[in-house]
């Protein structure tokens, strides 16, 4: 499917004017960054990079797209001719997907002609802003959960395609499975599912509902035990499946108290190996409050797919360097109050102490793709994602998700304990800007 119309009209307005005045083909450098983290957040998580690369690869104006643009008189014939042959031939560098980021971090750098780069602005931002918001929230949840798995169950709280993106982003940040089957198919993610209260209510009694599910799936299933009376439901679940029942799910009540009561009851029935899965509008704070409860897994819905109160990262896409009339590259800057930017192409590195703990984000203005850290305690953050229009296939598809999840675990592991606090505070490490 073409991604070419997943854009704002003003991108084409600028393109047409630039084609007319001859500036469209000037070499340009665009940068994606955020000026601030959501209130109280200590770090963000880059997610959606693999989807960005897929979108760049599919950014083509076919006959249908061109016909609609012509019919709507959005651009002139010269611009339509340009769009018909559009292919991104530039370079893209960025933080590896799963990497943590901070205010001012140049998470993505696009080097191309102005025309090629400006057309990608909207689709890049729409992907990175949403996916990174989900991953940033999901990381707080998996951090609070410790070794206990978090399961993504938020499809019904998001637009249908956003639900797939959210499931992917949650797994990047450490979730171990999703209820969304399309996400499972598209990115080879583990899928999970129990049953709803409607299944129990469909049957004449709870015993019949449990017996039906066990007959269909055996003991390796999860029975929802809080449709009626929870202790009675637990007894009926064990009666139906035996002490080898994999898990029961709790979706209501004071989960900390109820989980303890259910654990004691399961143990008394000889079902010490039966796990307890909890859901019911969980977020990172609720997960943290259940740290000492006998809970084995968390099912998270609304909060993860909405960024847990921060549904966007506020990322922007700014021109920071362009070719002048004399053919030389010149840094450019937006000086608007409270919306300023820093001129010039940038690279970034993270300073680590002797223990491998992150202590500083270093943003280097004037550094190109060949820049290498002079100090051994700096870890370079930019990786090549697209070279001369060719996408690095390591970062897309199922393999890209697995690679991103590994990178996130390592990157978050470099942060100090304060980064995992859920109370309001400053970014986990400071950012220093250096002009080379």
In a domain, 234, yes or no: yes
Instruction: Indicate whether 315 and 409 sit together in one domain.
Output: yes
User: What CATH number did the domain enclosing 234 receive?
Assistant: 3.20.20.70
Instruction: Indicate whether 279 and 331 sit together in one domain.
Output: no
Instruction: Indicate whether 120 and 35 sit together in one domain.
Output: yes
In a domain, 179, yes or no: no
Condensed to tens digits (0 to 9), the pLDDT of residues 241-260 reads: 999 999 999 999 999 999 99
In a domain, 161, yes or no: no
Instruction: Indicate whether 417 and 317 sit together in one domain.
Output: yes
In a domain, 360, yes or no: yes
User: What CATH number did the domain enclosing 427 receive?
Assistant: 3.20.140.10
Condensed to tens digits (0 to 9), the pLDDT of residues 286-332 reads: 999 999 999 999 999 999 999 999 999 999 999 999 999 999 999 99
pLDDT at 214: 98
Instruction: Indicate whether 210 and 244 sit together in one domain.
Output: yes
* CA–CA gap between residue 117 and residue 89 (Å, rounded): 10
pLDDT at 339: 67
Instruction: Indicate whether 292 and 365 sit together in one domain.
Output: no
E strand segments, 118-267: 150-152, 177-178, 222-224, 247-250
**What is the value of pTM for the model shown?**
0.96
User: Within the chain, which residues score under 50 in pLDDT?
Assistant: none
Instruction: Indicate whether 272 and 327 sit together in one domain.
Output: no
Count the domains in the chain.
2
Last residue of a domain, one of 240, 270, 296: 296
Burial of 228-263, coded b for 16+ CB within 10 Å and e otherwise, reads: eebeebbebbbebbeeebbbbbbbeeebbebbbbbb
Last residue of a domain, one of 296, 331, 359: 296
Last residue of a domain, one of 274, 296, 318: 296
Instruction: Indicate whether 275 and 319 sit together in one domain.
Output: no
Determine the structural domain holding residue 81 and report its residue range: 9-134+310-435
Instruction: Indicate whether 26 and 97 sit together in one domain.
Output: yes
């Amino acid at each position: 499917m073409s991604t070419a119309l997943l854009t704002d009209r003003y991108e084409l307005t600028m393109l047409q004017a630039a084609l007319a005045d001859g500036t469209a083909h000037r070499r340009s450098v665009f940068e994606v960054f955020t000026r601030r983290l959501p209130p109280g957040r200590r770090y963000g998580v880059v997610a959606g990079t693999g989807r960005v690369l897929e979108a760049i690869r599919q950014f083509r104006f076919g006959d249908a797209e061109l016909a609609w643009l012509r019919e709507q008189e959005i651009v002139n014939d010269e611009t339509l001719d340009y769009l018909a042959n559009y292919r991104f031939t530039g370079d893209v560098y960025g933080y590896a997907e799963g990497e943590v980021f901070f205010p001012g971090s140049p998470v993505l750098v696009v080097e191309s002609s102005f025309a090629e780069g400006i057309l990608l602005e909207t689709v890049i931002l729409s992907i990175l802003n949403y996916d990174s918001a989900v991953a940033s929230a999901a990381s707080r949840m998996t951090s609070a959960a410790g070794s206990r798995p978090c399961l993504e169950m938020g499809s019904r709280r998001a637009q249908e395609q956003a639900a797939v993106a959210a499931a992917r982003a949650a797994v990047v940040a450490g979730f171990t499975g999703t209820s969304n089957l399309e996400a499972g198919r598209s990115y080879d993610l583990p899928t999970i599912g129990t049953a709803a209260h409607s299944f129990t209510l469909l049957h004449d009694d709870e015993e019949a509902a449990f017996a039906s599910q066990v007959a269909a799936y055996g003991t390796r299933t999860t029975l929802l035990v809080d449709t009626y009376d929870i202790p009675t439901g637990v007894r009926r679940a064990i009666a139906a499946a035996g002490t080898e029942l994999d898990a029961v799910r709790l979706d209501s009540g004071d989960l900390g108290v109820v989980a303890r009561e259910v654990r004691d009851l399961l143990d008394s029935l000889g079902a010490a190996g039966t796990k307890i899965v909890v859901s019911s509008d969980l977020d990172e704070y609720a997960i943290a409050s259940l740290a000492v409860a006998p809970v084995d897994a968390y099912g998270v819905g609304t909060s993860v797919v909405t960024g847990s109160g921060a549904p966007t990262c506020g990322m922007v896409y700014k021109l920071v360097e362009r070719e002048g009339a004399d053919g030389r590259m010149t840094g450019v800057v937006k000086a608007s109050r409270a919306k300023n930017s820093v001129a010039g192409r940038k690279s970034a590195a993270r300073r680590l102490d002797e223990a491998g703990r992150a202590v500083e984000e270093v943003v280097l203005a004037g550094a190109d793709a060949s820049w290498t850290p002079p100090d051994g305690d700096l870890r370079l953050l930019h990786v090549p994602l697209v070279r001369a229009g060719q996408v690095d296939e390591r970062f897309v598809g199922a393999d890209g998700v697995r690679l991103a999840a590994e990178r996130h675990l390592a990157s978050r592991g470099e942060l100090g304990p304060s980064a995992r606090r859920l109370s309001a505070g400053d970014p986990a490490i400071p950012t220093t800007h250096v002009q080379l």
